[in-house]
Structure 1
Amino acid sequence: MAEQCGSQDSDCGSFEKGDTEDHTLERLRLAAEARLTQGVYEVEVSYGGEADLHREKGRCGKNPGHKNFIPSPQFSLTHLPAGFQDKQLLETIGLCAQLTVRLVVNYTSMSRPEFLPNSKSAYPFSRFRGKTVPYRFGSGWLFDAFPRGVLGEGKGGECPCSECGQSGKPSSAWYELMFLTALHVVFDSEESKATDVELFYDSDVDRDSTVLKLAGGCVEMADIETDGCLLVCWTHDLDLGDKLQALSRQRWDLMREINMRYTREERGGLVVVVSHPHGCSKQVTVGWAVDRSDWTGLEVYRYSADTCPGSSGAGMWPVGWADPDFSILPHSKGVSKGVNECSPGVVVVD
């Protein structure tokens, strides 16, 4: 697995050697208890390795069999409902999928509050503050990629990543990568520094040769009220930065066009979610918006597109319903049987 800028080892398989059925059952029991502490939010947790994630997927009580989850490389026009079998729409979903990431969080910040805002309900994972287990798995997506240093129109400066800080020879050319997710997945910079951002986890086949792992850098913008988080990391791989920037800009351009084509008044209501359910490979689900409400000027959607633990922070696109310049919102929670809800997100300013 390729690594960038001092990525931390996210292998949580320390229990795998000499494993027994009793050990496995105990890990799964602990994970189930930890999962319950987040209430209706949808982070996946594990006390073991990757094998435990696949066990959790097989034991899923929310969507047994996951029949509506389509592996992203296999998603096709036939998976879109009548009236939306549009090649440009499919291309845009493909771009969203390429820019979706798995987040592996290896630490719980001491700064997590005890309770949710204006509530007596516990804040997700607050009981694990200061601990490195359980490992948490969520989703996110690349908002944009920006050249920095000498690449940034003469702005200069030195790369802020931990690798450069330790080397004594910081790079003068790098890319800054901005990822959006839910705040309950990555709460602050203390957690982001213990987070692995995994790109291109599209399949379990040859996973180690295809997944690119970046080290989390810092949280630049966060809002506990909206549950939105902007996670920033850096890479010296300029070819990767160029590729991600091109994919991101192409996605936004196509998304604006698609949103204008499928306005709410004309055909709206289709919702697309791309996530890493149960911390496993990337999947696409589609459904319908069932409600939209206003949260102090920001939109909150409820929708029928399936999600599972591990989908927290995933990109939710209400086709034709959202602001054409900012069309993806972070999935946040499951509110009732067959109904899920997004966060209104955060406003990003470059």
Structure 2
Amino acid sequence: MQERNEVEFVLEGQDSSLISFKHCTKNPGHKDFVKFTDFKVENLPSDYQDVMIYKMIQYIGLITVKLNVSFTSNNRSNNDETAKFRGTTNIRLGSGFIMSVCKKEKSLGKKCPCKECLESNNPKEQWAEILVLTAKHVVFDTEEVKHTKCELFYDVVRQIEILYGLKVHKVIDKNDACIFLCAMHNLETWNKIKMLCDMRDNIHRKLADKYTSKGLKNQLAIIVSHPHGQPKMVSVGDVISFKRSLDGDVQYEYRASTCSGSSGAPVYVLSREWDLNFSEHVHSSSTLRNGINRSSFGPA
């Protein structure tokens, strides 16, 4: 069955992604998406209208990022969907999320190593480091990471914080996953992100205890993404099936809506085989015929 990745290519100026959003053919009107800032408990299916699930969606959403990648690596293979852009600075948009915060760097004669600071006459002397997870087809290698900006809090334009790509931390080819290191210049926001990650992990453990034993027939997939590079939106839908790899990782198929720009977004599955660590699944692809969407492989 033919499938495609869901990266948004910006080939005619930044406004083209907004035009793409308005004239989307996969999800006309985006009726199955809810703006993150408007999402309420009542938007969940009746079996899942739980304040704790709502809080989890809020924590996931607050650390979901829009990716702006302005270079395509020459190392991509010929069968890569992005191969025709190799070596160019054409922009593509995707989604991702913050896995964890790493450390703060303070001025000891060091300068922030991000691309913006290296090219600046006034580089930052204090910065923080953060790990972001997305799909490998969105960000392929360190050359692409260096040309990647992550927009955090892209719900209200005036609140946007920028994370600057530094280098690949880990690529998992078989899982279509790329974890990369970013620099953040606002140290106050670093503290907020650390708190949000801790709260997310705490809620996840509580949900694992609650929904493992509940045994609901339909598993639920929750996705927070930036469709067409627009402000983040939430979609929910049933999990249809899953596939297990030889090493035990799982890939989910679901009806939660996605669009171009959703590639790399966090996929949170309720009532599954629970791992006490936060899920590491991201949106990977969509089938062309029946609209079924697939996650990357990740820990069950």
User: Could you say whether these structures have the same fold, taking a TM-score greater than 0.5 normalized by the shorter chain as the test?
Assistant: yes
Please say if residues 3 and 286 of structure 2, whose CA atoms lie closer than 8 Å, have aligned partners that are also in contact. Answer: no
1:291-331: CA deviation from partner (whole Å, max 9, x where unpaired): 11112311111111000010000000001324221324110
One-letter amino acid of the structure 2 residue matched with residue 188 of structure 1: D
Distance of 1:60 and 1:254 partners within structure 2: 35
The alpha-carbon distance between structure 1 residues 176 and 64, as it changes in their structure 2 partners (threshold 3 A), is: same
One-letter amino acid of the structure 1 residue matched with residue 37 of structure 2: P
TM-aligned CA deviation for residue 333 of structure 1: 0.3
Distance of 1:144 and 1:179 partners within structure 2: 7
The alpha-carbon distance between structure 1 residues 148 and 211, as it changes in their structure 2 partners (threshold 3 A), is: closer
Distance of 2:123 and 2:296 partners within structure 1: 40
Q: Any unmatched runs of 5+ in structure 1?
A: 1-37, 115-121
The alpha-carbon distance between structure 1 residues 110 and 54, as it changes in their structure 2 partners (threshold 3 A), is: same
Of residues 188, 195, 211, the one that matches 1:262 is 211
Matched, 1:313 2:267: no
Of residues 95, 99, 102, the one that matches 1:146 is 102
Please say if residues 147 and 241 of structure 1, whose CA atoms lie closer than 8 Å, have aligned partners that are also in contact. Answer: no
The alpha-carbon distance between structure 1 residues 223 and 83, as it changes in their structure 2 partners (threshold 3 A), is: same
TM-aligned CA deviation for residue 165 of structure 1: 5.3
Please say if residues 146 and 245 of structure 1, whose CA atoms lie closer than 8 Å, have aligned partners that are also in contact. Answer: no
One-letter amino acid of the structure 2 residue matched with residue 223 of structure 1: I
SS at match of 1:258: helix
TM-score (norm 2): 0.90
The corresponding residue for 1:76 is 40
TM-aligned CA deviation for residue 164 of structure 1: 5.8
Of residues 249, 252, 258, the one that matches 1:298 is 249
Matched, 1:340 2:290: no
Distance of 2:113 and 2:28 partners within structure 1: 41
Distance of 1:264 and 1:105 partners within structure 2: 42
Distance of 2:9 and 2:18 partners within structure 1: 12
SS at match of 1:83: helix
The alpha-carbon distance between structure 1 residues 78 and 168, as it changes in their structure 2 partners (threshold 3 A), is: closer
The alpha-carbon distance between structure 1 residues 39 and 338, as it changes in their structure 2 partners (threshold 3 A), is: closer
Matched, 1:286 2:239: no
Distance of 1:189 and 1:139 partners within structure 2: 17
TM-score (norm 1): 0.78
One-letter amino acid of the structure 1 residue matched with residue 271 of structure 2: G
SS at match of 2:58: helix
Of residues 61, 82, 88, the one that matches 1:97 is 61
TM-aligned CA deviation for residue 241 of structure 1: 0.8
SS at match of 1:147: strand
State which structure, 1 or 2, has the greater radius of gyration over its C-alpha atoms: 1
One-letter amino acid of the structure 2 residue matched with residue 61 of structure 1: T
SS at match of 1:271: strand
Please say if residues 95 and 263 of structure 2, whose CA atoms lie closer than 8 Å, have aligned partners that are also in contact. Answer: yes
TM-aligned CA deviation for residue 237 of structure 1: 2.1
TM-aligned CA deviation for residue 157 of structure 1: 9.5
Correspondence list, 1:152-163, <5 A: 158=110, 161-162=113-114
The corresponding residue for 2:165 is 216
SS at match of 1:301: strand
The corresponding residue for 1:329 is 281
Q: Any unmatched runs of 5+ in structure 2?
A: none
Quick one: percent identity of the two aligned structures?
34
RMSD: 2.4
Correspondence list, 1:51-130, <5 A: 51-114=15-78, 122-130=79-87
One-letter amino acid of the structure 2 residue matched with residue 221 of structure 1: K
Please say if residues 112 and 127 of structure 2, whose CA atoms lie closer than 8 Å, have aligned partners that are also in contact. Answer: no
SS at match of 1:220: strand
